Amino acid sequence: MRADVAVAGNGVLGLSLAVELKRRAPGLRVVLVGPASRPGGATAAAGAMLNCFAEVTDTTHRHPASRAKFAMARTALDAWPDWLAALGDGAGKGPSLASPGTFVVLGAQATATAVRNFDAVQEALKEHAEPHQEVQAADIPGLRPVPHERPLRALYLEREGAVDARAVLQSLETCGRRLGVTVTDGSTTHLLTAGGRCTGMRLDDGTEIAAGAVVVAAGTASGPLLDQLLPGRTPPMLHGTGCAVRTLRHTRPGFDRVIRTPTRSGACGMHLVPLGGGVEYLGATNVVSFAPPPGPRLGVTQFLLRFATDQFDTRLGMSAVQGWHYAGRPVPLDRFPLLGPTGIDGLYAATGTYRDGFHSSPVIARHLADTILDPGPLPELLAPFAPVRDPIETMTVEESIDLFVSDEVETAAEYGMRLPYFLDTEPIAARARSQAHEALERLDRPIALPPEILAAAHAAPPTHLRHLNTYLRTSPPTAGSVPSP
């Protein structure tokens, strides 16, 4: 088989790119490869909140890469209405928003991080003159938390809603086929090379696709694929295991808008997405690990359900479970996406979008298509996310340890820790601090890692640790050393 562009991966990134390429260059031969059932694919499990400002944290504006990611999310916010309309049947009828508008609520028991992030959301809304309203908890239709979780503050973001990820995937695939994308059910096992450039891919059934450009967009499987040609050169890819549940309302009224908490450092915040007809999506857990886990962890899943009923609506307890969504978010070591040319001629990456890649997908597709169709200078928006790079460090190693420690203490409190008045949280902080140092001692050089990645490094199996250290050895050391405990 021959193609101009062959894409490995049939999630939202691979499909959006294939659609964008065919729209811009109808004569281009585009082949998209991925297993039809999408096992473990993040997109099919996503709550698909189209959130930009609701995702802001107190660190969003502190580092150029975080600012670039925010800029991408802002552009995506403007892009979604036209993108959805264009996915339609040619008469402008595309999949619609499952829910327009998002309430961000700050419960009475919110942690210090959640409070800071809520403030940061509000500041960003004002700074960018984004339409929003401060609302009272009593004004949020459907809200009935337990009394001690009642929101003290709430914002309504009218332009940020959600779509049904499964419906959008289906529309993207239908639209791609209509435009002439060749959709192939299978998996890419090998990237092919000749004369130092990537020339195509081999599939699990032995089929070879010769291609002028190959795009790796295989979610968590992208790491091993890129490693075939760039061993230890791209930030290692971790699994951000997420679990969510889809329920059917028994006790009305239920919600007609997305309701969510602010982002926490290791999680996207608790959220509920109304999907219509009384169906609600409750998400999502996030446990990050180097090796794919055998399944979602029972402990966090239990709390997902408790947080939803306690913080949003006790009547959810009467809802019927329709199904579970479970997948691995593709999480690069530094939590920033891998987008664009890889330095090997003909090989591109479109992956590593972690918690918010669904929202940014139309913009990522547009800019990647620019680069593939006209390989000139990299679009400004993609420049910070070059797939072959040193890890992006947004803080010092000492700050990353402090953040890990405060995060562990806050998580313990969120999960119900209650101490007598004569004890404080120091024993928990000390345990976390020593875990952080143990994790850093496993690394060949000190590096500032986000809290959930530091936890994953602490638990990383030896083969993954070796791979991580190979990557760290190829990127130059930063000043400083592991601080003593």
Ligand X SMILES: Cc1cc2nc3c(=O)[nH]c(=O)nc-3n(C[C@H](O)[C@H](O)[C@H](O)COP(=O)(O)OP(=O)(O)OC[C@H]3O[C@@H](n4cnc5c(N)ncnc54)[C@H](O)[C@@H]3O)c2cc1C
Residues near ligand X, by CB under 6 A:
8-14, 33-35, 38-39, 41-43, 45-49, 187-188, 217-219, 221, 242, 244, 283-284, 325, 327, 329-330, 351, 353-359
Beta carbon of residue 347, minimum distance to ligand X (angstroms, whole number):
14
Residue 359 or 439: the one with the smaller Cβ distance to ligand X is 359
Spatial separation of the C-alpha atoms in residues 448 and 451, rounded to whole Å = 9
Beta carbon of residue 243, minimum distance to ligand X (angstroms, whole number):
7
Residue 184 or 406: the one with the smaller Cβ distance to ligand X is 184
Total residue length of the chain: 485
Chain centre to alpha carbon of residue 154: 24
Torsion region of 406: left, alpha or beta (phi above 0 gives left; psi -120 to 50 gives alpha): alpha
**Within 10 A of 216 (CB to CB), how many other CB atoms are there?**
30
Residue, CB closest to ligand X: 11
Strand extents, DSSP E, 299-377? 320-332, 338-341, 347-351
Spatial separation of the C-alpha atoms in residues 188 and 206, rounded to whole Å = 9
Beta carbon of residue 134, minimum distance to ligand X (angstroms, whole number):
23
Residue 245 or 447: the one with the smaller Cβ distance to ligand X is 245
Given a contact cutoff of 8 angstroms between Cβ atoms, the answer to whether 313 and 142 are in contact is yes
321 burial via Cβ count (<10 Å: 0-12, 13-18, 19+): exposed
Beta carbon of residue 326, minimum distance to ligand X (angstroms, whole number):
8
Given a contact cutoff of 8 angstroms between Cβ atoms, the answer to whether 149 and 109 are in contact is yes
Beta carbon of residue 75, minimum distance to ligand X (angstroms, whole number):
14
Beta carbon of residue 59, minimum distance to ligand X (angstroms, whole number):
18
Residue 161 or 451: the one with the smaller Cβ distance to ligand X is 161
Residue 124 or 300: the one with the smaller Cβ distance to ligand X is 300
Residue 168 or 436: the one with the smaller Cβ distance to ligand X is 168
304 to 109, 183, 269: CA distances (angstroms): 16, 36, 10
Helices (H), 34-164: 42-45, 64-86, 112-127
Given a contact cutoff of 8 angstroms between Cβ atoms, the answer to whether 23 and 175 are in contact is no
Given a contact cutoff of 8 angstroms between Cβ atoms, the answer to whether 164 and 170 are in contact is no
The tokens for 304 are 């997902």
Strand (E) or helix (H) holding 211: strand 208-216
Residue 52 or 401: the one with the smaller Cβ distance to ligand X is 52
Residue 342 or 406: the one with the smaller Cβ distance to ligand X is 342
Given a contact cutoff of 8 angstroms between Cβ atoms, the answer to whether 347 and 191 are in contact is yes
**Within 10 A of 107 (CB to CB), how many other CB atoms are there?**
23
Beta carbon of residue 15, minimum distance to ligand X (angstroms, whole number):
7
Beta carbon of residue 417, minimum distance to ligand X (angstroms, whole number):
26
